[in-house]
Every structure is written in structure tokens, then in C-alpha cells.
Chain A
């Protein structure tokens, strides 16, 4: 009998709760909820192309990247090269961390080190694509000083995470 019970994924439960919040709020604040949903649609339309690219990259990584390759470049014995690849990857690959979690999760299964995942995720602010926007608002001097510290701290975070997650 228990085999017939369908397990609802956690993600679907979470989505259902959020939809419920919208639904309940709409009863008392319909304009606010309409505005929030409008904002969501705008944001989602911006995120969707990034998500599609990420899923596409994932698909090709599943096709071409072999576990042995990842283990060699970003795995336990990747050395300095692995750190360099993680930094370059984080600068080149744009998008928020949450769209990259699935990709990083899969790379982790293939042997990517926790320290390098931490480096990758701590460098989300240093991306070529966003440089013009940062410079526009904060100036080039700020952009370079900020980028320097972000890079330095990403390495520090990576080292700390490597120690904390040792054996995992």
C-alpha cells in the first residue's frame, strides 16, 4: 500500500505555500498582490533566458564532460589549476547563484571540490557582463577596488570551506 503513495517533491510543496500566501493576501490586498505578481513576471522573464542557458550548458556538460575530467580539473587533486578554473568560470558565467545551484550540485556529484564551489559562488559580483552597470553607479575606482576584495575573499572563503567540509 505504502508503495502506491506518491511523494510530492519539496520544491512543489514550497511553491504551493508561496502560491497560498498570494491567494490569501489577494483576498484582502488584491492590488498589492497584482503588483507583486507583475514584478514576479518581469523578473521571471529576465531569469528564464539565463535558466535556459544554464540548462543547455548542463545538458552539454552531461554529454561532453566526463566525471574523470571534472575530477581531474576541479576535483580533490586539481591543485592550483582548479582554483584558477573556478575563478575564471565564476567571472565568465553570469547569473545569480540560485540558477547555478543545480549545475554546481551536479558538478559536485562528479567530484568538484567544496572549496572550489565556494570560490565560484563568492565571486558572483565580479562578472564582465555587469561591469558597465557597476561603473555607471559607483565609478571605475570603486569597481576595481571592490572586485579586488571580492576575489581575495572568495579565495579565503574557498579555503575555509575546504577545511570545514573536509572528509565530505
Chain B
């Protein structure tokens, strides 16, 4: 029990300052990036998922917030293709979170996993929209 308490305290001590810092950084950058969302999502079938994945990668945060943001962007006229890539990369690709991920799981793992998930965001968006058109 004592070892478990010590281990937990050590983890809290390592991760909490980073989590607080990241949330503060996202809250700071959020309003700046938000202004550009409607300008960069133009409806282009090829560029949209790429831009969506890029925007989602820097807007990393609580998953439920990605659905709300994505839903509101969709209502604002942004294509579903872009929004799909956006919500996937929001939760799975985290450029601002790289230091935290690397600290706990290693630099190599963090960089490669994020790169794979970035490509996956684009492919998932295209496949989802194509499937929805077929079924």
C-alpha cells in the first residue's frame, strides 16, 4: 500500500504540471486558431482532410470537445470530410502533447505513433465519406 501511494504521488508530480501547462497553452491558442477554421476549410475534397487533420493535431483536447467543435464547424458549412479528419486527429494526434507522451512512452514511440495517426486521420475521413455515399 505504501509503495502504491509513493508510485501514484510520483506520477501525479510528473504529469500534473505538464497537464496544467498544456491546458493553459490550448486555452491561449484556441481563440487564435478558431478564427482561421472557417477560412481554411474550403470544401476541397483533397485538401480538406489534410487541413482538418492539421487543425485537429494542434487542437488536441478532451474528445467530447472535438465532437462539439466539429459539429459546430459542420453547421457553419465546413465539409464532413474535413470535420471527420479533424475529430479523429483531435483525440489521437497531439503536437502540443508530444513532450508528455515522449516523457512517459519514449520519443521514438511518440513521434511515430503521431505520424501514423495523422495519416490515418486523412484515410479514415476519405473512407468514411466514401462508405456513407455507397450505403
Contacts and interface: CB of A to CB of B under 8 A. Distances in A.
Interface in A1-30: 9-12, 14-15, 17-19, 21-22, 25
A63 interface: yes
Contact of A14 (B13, B63, B99, B120): B99
Contacts of B13: 9
Given A101-B100, A168-B108, A18 B128 contact: no
Contacts of B22: 98
A108 interface: yes
Interface in B29-75: 30-31, 60-65, 67-68, 70-71, 74
Contact of A153 (B11, B20, B21, B123): B123
Between A21, A46, A96, A149, the greatest number of chain B beta carbons within 10 A of the residue's beta carbon is seen for A96
A105 interface: yes
Interface residues of B, number: 66
Between B74, B113, B132, the greatest number of chain A beta carbons within 10 A of the residue's beta carbon is seen for B113
Contacts of A124: 63, 91-92
Between A18, A59, A136, the greatest number of chain B beta carbons within 10 A of the residue's beta carbon is seen for A18
A146 B84 contact: yes
Contacts of B5: 59
Interface in B1-16: 1, 3-5, 7-8, 11-16
Interface string A33-73: 10111011001101100010001001100110000000000
B23 A43 contact: yes
Given A11-B17, A145-B135, 8 more contacts: A40-B27, A43-B23, A59-B5, A98-B60, A106-B7, A125-B88, A137-B74, A168-B108
19 contacts: A9-B13, A14-B18, A36-B27, A39-B27, A40-B28, A59-B8, A96-B61, A97-B92, A98-B22, A102-B104, A125-B63, A136-B71, A137-B71, A142-B128, A150-B124, A153-B120, A153-B124, A156-B120, A161-B112
